Amino acid sequence: MTIGGLGGGQLGRMLALAGSPLGQRFIFLDPGQESCAGHVGDLRVGAYDDEERLAEISRRAEVITYEFENVPVASARYLAERVPVYPPPRALEVSQDRFLEKSFFEELGIPTAGFAKVDSREDLEAAVGRLGLPCVLKTRRFGYDGKGQLVLRTIEDVTDGWSALGAAPLIVERFVAFDREASVVAVRGRDGEVRAYPMVENEHAEGILRVSRPASPAITPAMQATGEGYARRILDALGYVGVLAIELFVVDGALVANEMAPRVHNSGHWSIEGADTSQFENHVRAITGMPLGSTRLRGPCAMVNVLGRMPPREEILRIERAHLHVYGKGAGDGSARGSRGGRKIGHVTVSAATRAELEETVAVVRAIVG
């Protein structure tokens, strides 16, 4: 089967690497000529709303998916009239707009921070008056890795925030004083079967994920059950097929939904070596109608992101049970040439026999990647 992919970045690359042993072929549409998914699949260069390119993808693929949530909904719907598209375009529509997303959580009874839509300076002042300070001002669309958002702590911040972000539709959210950040990654097949991975504790810096720890001791069985329940509500409500990630705050042992990603997710990369079936393989299985694989954790593991510049690979490869994944961005060879500070250019999965051994090795890897 040929799978069409909208987006040719590292997630598309890892989908193709997971699908190839299952006999799947891939064709990707991406605006960038150097998109790294083109190293492992057939790359077509063009805009996501290029109807000629979309028509070509629909002719050549038997099913279509996407690797990031900013693909135009209109393009997904155009393709869905011609070939199955999974996850469904409705999932894109909800996830692309933070106000729609928070409203969707509320409709499903999933706890989320208080929020208000902001279309004017007056709306902003009224929302801050209702939600209180501190709060978080965000663009409704296109924010990623901490971009397009500001924490408002004072009245002066309200004025500055409107000046900085007011040109776009906005949302204000009540500030959540969380204990930690977590995520749940789950997959739903064409037949409605749902499987969830162990919940992950996530460590961020400057809005970018640095380390993910599945089945962290901080995640209780009750949290796991609650997170899986939230995922199932969303998956079933959308008639979803494929992998879904929900980013969560942990507050006094309770889970508060922050946002969802209708795709394979950075916090699930550990599953390549750490689970019986990776999130990438299970996404391929789901969208092609194959049986889902086990999501069982094989043992203590963690994922460390490599950002901006690739360190000497030999230093990582010498570490026992450390698995390096280089995405091939920039110059297309995984080197530092053409890379941007903060850009995700690879990751390292660390496995260990014990939790203590795991944390020792994670510390070594973090010192190397910087």
Which helix (H) or strand (E) segment holds residue 172: the answer is strand 170-174
User: Residue type at 212?
Assistant: S
Closest by CA position to 297, among listed 183, 194, 200, 187: 200
Q: Give the pLDDT score at 143.
A: 65
Q: Cα–Cα distance between 79 and 67 in angstroms, integer?
A: 15
pLDDT tens string 166-184: 888 999 999 999 999 999 9
> What value does the mean pLDDT take over residues 344-349?
96
Q: Give the pLDDT score at 146.
A: 58
Q: Give the pLDDT score at 145.
A: 56
Closest by CA position to 21, among listed 38, 4, 40, 44: 40
Indicate the pLDDT class of residue 148, thresholds 50, 70 and 90.
confident
Q: Give the pLDDT score at 330.
A: 61
pLDDT at 92 over 60: yes
The structural domains of the chain, with segments of one domain joined by +, span: 2-85, 114-174, 180-369
Share of residues in the chain with pLDDT > 90 (%): 89
- 182, two tokens: 């977590």
pLDDT tens string 105-138: 999 999 999 999 999 999 999 999 999 999 999 9
Q: Output Rg (C-alpha) for the chain, integer angstroms.
A: 20
Q: Cα–Cα distance between 302 and 295 in angstroms, integer?
A: 15
Q: Cα–Cα distance between 271 and 283 in angstroms, integer?
A: 12
pLDDT tens string 263-294: 999 999 999 999 999 999 999 999 999 999 99
Q: What CATH number has the domain spanning 114-174? A: 3.30.1490.20
> What value does the mean pLDDT take over residues 23-30?
98
Q: Cα–Cα distance between 187 and 241 in angstroms, integer?
A: 7
pLDDT tens string 204-261: 998 899 999 999 999 999 999 999 999 999 999 999 999 999 999 999 999 999 999 9
Tell me how far CA of residue 318 lies from CA of 21, 270, 364, in angstroms.
Answer: 27, 19, 11
Indicate the pLDDT class of residue 7, thresholds 50, 70 and 90.
very high
Task: Specify the pTM.
Answer: 0.94
Total residue length of the chain:
370
The DSSP secondary structure of 18-73, one letter per residue, reads: HHGGGT-EEEEEES-TT-GGGGTSEEEES-TT-HHHHHHHHHH-SEEEESSTTS-H
Q: Give the pLDDT score at 338.
A: 41
Q: Give the pLDDT score at 342.
A: 76
Q: Give the pLDDT score at 340.
A: 56
Specify burial of residue 92 (Cβ count, 10 A radius: 0-12, 13-18, 19+).
buried
The values of phi and psi at residue 310, to 5°, are -80, 120
Q: Give the pLDDT score at 107.
A: 98
Q: Give the pLDDT score at 315.
A: 96
Tell me how far CA of residue 119 lies from CA of 99, 135, 142, 166, in angstroms.
Answer: 12, 17, 16, 8
The whole-chain average pLDDT of the chain stands at 94
Residues 49 and 29 sit within 8 Å (Cβ to Cβ)? no
pLDDT tens string 35-83: 999 999 999 999 999 999 999 999 999 999 999 888 999 999 999 999 9
Q: Give the pLDDT score at 334.
A: 41
Domain 180-369: state its class. alpha beta
Instruction: Give the relative orientation of helices 155-165 and 121-131 as an angle to the nearest 10 degrees.
Output: 140
CATH 3.40.50.20 fits 2-85, yes or no: yes
pLDDT tens string 310-337: 999 999 999 999 999 999 986 434 443 3
> What value does the mean pLDDT take over residues 7-26?
97
